[in-house]
Amino acid sequence: MTRRVVITGIGAITPIGHDPESSWEAALAGRSGMAPITLFDTTEFQTRIAAEVKDWDPTRWMSRKQARQMDRYQRFALASALQAVENAGLEITDANRDRIGVIYGSAIGGVISFLELSKVYFDRGPAAITPFGIPRMMPNGGCAYISMALQVTGPVFGIASACATGTDNVGLAYHMIRGGVIDAAVAGGADATVSETAIGPFNQMQALTTRNDAPTETPRPFDRDRDGFAQGEGGAALVLETLEGAKARGANILAEIVGWGRAATPSTSPRPIPAGRAARARWCARSTTPGSTPKMWTTSTRTARRRCSTTWPRRARSRPPSATMRTKSSSAPPSR
């Protein structure tokens, strides 16, 4: 079974707008979402700027009690998904809820909640930890909250693939609808990574911009004077469904997806290798059709090669790993 797949709804919570319309207007006007970080004290950090979602009230989409129980990224996920369903005019009933999926991911999950829970444990002990800690940290917590809000009973899960997470979830949903597994899906991704434990490691890798005195002039990944990428936060969702289903219910069709593919560069993160260029060109050629408009997402960092000390073997070992894992003080034969 091969079916045509279209987009009928969109939702977005971004640093430059709290819905798709305001975000698009700001993007066209060239407004930046970069500004000094307000979510934590950046005094000891090299990078003190990021793209935060500011002045946003999540209670437009959930109760205050629900918002308190969720991680920050999960609030973005739920709000963007509900926006998309509302924009699509998709009615979920007993007749179709089994055939609708939620394919929505997060690259890193509840990293802010993980840090908060760790602080509670070290300061006050295990008895003070909230029982909501586990769902707040889970990368699939966002799609779970979406499914509960929409009462969707089809496939509900998300995949994590770093910066490509949102796009990969949309692509997977496309293939599931195209192949007849489901008839419609809410797909996308959300993250909230403006935190000490997300900024700190990237600083150590020299991957983030440090243009703190001019936040609106960075990042600029393809500029000769680029100095790194920037952390941000937000969530975006699309409603995907079959062309036949969209036409039958009189939906406003925003676009059609005609292909999707992905390729990886097997190198030490986050330094790409030239061979990846050819791979990306190949998937682009085989995943689109004549007359379509291919889209490609790329990432460019300023990571210094001398700081990437991790190496990976390129050939299989001639001896089993156990033969090389003895300590200097050990004289015992390797375990078999």
DSSP string for residues in 225-249: T---B--BEEEEEEEEEEHHHHHHT
Q: Which domain holds residue 49?
A: 5-262
Residue 113 is assigned to a structural domain of this protein: yes
81 inside domain: yes
* pLDDT surpassing 60 at residue 305: no
Q: What is the reported pTM? A: 0.84
Q: Report the half-sphere exposure of 26 (CA within 13 A, side-chain side).
A: 16
Q: Comparing 95-104, 167-176, 222-231, which segment has the lowest mean pLDDT?
A: 222-231
For residue 14, tell me if it sits in a domain.
Answer: yes
| pLDDT (mean) for 69-75 | 96
Helix, strand, coil tally for the chain in percent (to 5): 35, 15, 50
Whether 289 is in a domain gets the answer: no
C-alpha span between 101 and 152 (Å, rounded): 7
Whether 313 is in a domain gets the answer: no
Domain annotation covers residue 244: yes
> DSSP E strands: which ranges in 1-56?
5-13, 34-36, 49-51
Is residue 281 in a domain?
A: no
The answer as to whether 268 is a domain residue is no
For the stretch 104-152, pLDDT in tens is: 999 999 999 999 999 999 999 999 999 999 999 999 999 999 999 999 9
Position 185 scores a pLDDT of 98
Q: How many domains does the chain have?
A: 1
CATH number of the domain that 177 lies in? Answer: 3.40.47.10
